[in-house]
Amino acid sequence: MAATKINIDWITSLFPNGTPPVATKWNGAGMTIEMKCAAGSVPGSYSVAYDSYLILHDGLENHTLTLILKLNLNPYIPTGVLPAMRMPVLDADNRVFLARPFTNAEWTKFVADFKRECFNWRRQFWLVPPQGYKGFDVKVGPRTMRPNIYCNLFIDVVNQASSAHSTINVVNLDGNDASTRLGFTEQNLRAGAFRSHATLYSNYDKDPNRQLTTPDNAGGQTQVNNFSTIAHEIGHALGLPHIGVTHKDPLCNMAALLQRTLPAGSTVPAIFNGGTNSNACYGHLALPERGANIMGGGMTWHASNAAPWAARIALHTFTTPSDWSVSTSKLPPQAV
């Protein structure tokens, strides 16, 4: 499969609230092999930050760029409090739910399942160096090999906000209250009736069992039966907006424009409601591949989703992201 040239729009669409990385280690040739962002997240706030490590191999296998995202998962109600305790919590749509404490066993399972969902981002991208760039070339016998860059992601769940790039509160929803007061069944909750966001997850997010249907611009529909809210939100933690924003899709652009220009409380067609969080930016009535994408309403990956790695490799190598290409299938090192 041919590699796709990095589009500079994919880079400029990344969330602008990132923490600047600082180079902290170099190899003998002067190449930056480690970059770090300051930790110490403020619960409830949101900024994009992650460390990166460049691991160089022997030329017979690809080099590796690992992004390390340190996350503090914080139970909304601390484990160990009285099981009867309940606290109100607002979801992304400002609806009031009640949360109950996690048991120790429930919390342990949530963290394990959270890590499993993050693994969806592994083995999705390989960056191809610019044609004239020789910084990664390796001499193997009489040949000169040019490895590509495998894009790896490591999620480090840390116990303290002071050690984390981001803190995420996690609520354990009271299903009985959601049923009697709001009319939501267990299946509704599993399908995302509680709207999570970048700094607030629910206990139901650990299971990729949401069913989403996205209508496309050809009159068809993309049906996904195992949408992973956590995998989607990890994309946001890496700085990726919704897929329609990345690709500047016309209806998504319109939704953003309406959000910026109309007075608060104005009524707009449902597809535009929410601006860059609207259905238009999730890929509704756009190309089928938009709705199928992880940053839309699906579980597939596009070259544009590699933008965080492309932006960071450019800093490691003093190149520009648009000089690079990305493949969504493994490409072996090439002789040059």
CA distance 137 to 144: 6
Whether residue 330 is contained in a domain is answered as: yes
- The pLDDT of residue 1 is above 70: no
Q: Assign 3-state DSSP to the chain and report helix, strand, coil percentages, each to 5.
A: 30, 30, 40
Whether residue 225 is contained in a domain is answered as: no
pLDDT digits (tens, 9 = 90+) for 51-66: 999 999 998 999 999 9
Whether residue 151 is contained in a domain is answered as: yes
Whether residue 264 is contained in a domain is answered as: no
What is the number of domains present in the chain? 1
C-alpha distance from residue 306 to each of 44, 86, 253 (Å): 26, 41, 22
CA distance 130 to 251: 34
Whether residue 12 is contained in a domain is answered as: yes
Closest CA relative to residue 232, chosen from 260, 195, 257, 258: 195
Domain membership of residue 128 as a residue range:
4-207+304-335
Q: What is the mean pLDDT of the chain?
A: 94
Angle at the Cα of 78 from the Cα atoms of 74 and 79, rounded to 5 degrees: 110
Whether residue 97 is contained in a domain is answered as: yes
Would you state the pLDDT for residue 29? 85
pLDDT digits (tens, 9 = 90+) for 200-255: 999 999 988 778 899 999 999 999 989 999 999 999 999 999 999 999 999 999 99
pLDDT digits (tens, 9 = 90+) for 107-163: 999 999 999 999 999 999 999 999 989 999 999 999 999 999 999 999 999 999 999
Closest CA relative to residue 306, chosen from 288, 291, 324, 318: 324
CA distance 229 to 139: 44
- Number of C-beta neighbours around residue 4 at 10 A: 16
Whether residue 265 is contained in a domain is answered as: no
Closest CA relative to residue 103, chosen from 121, 82, 87: 82
Whether residue 247 is contained in a domain is answered as: no
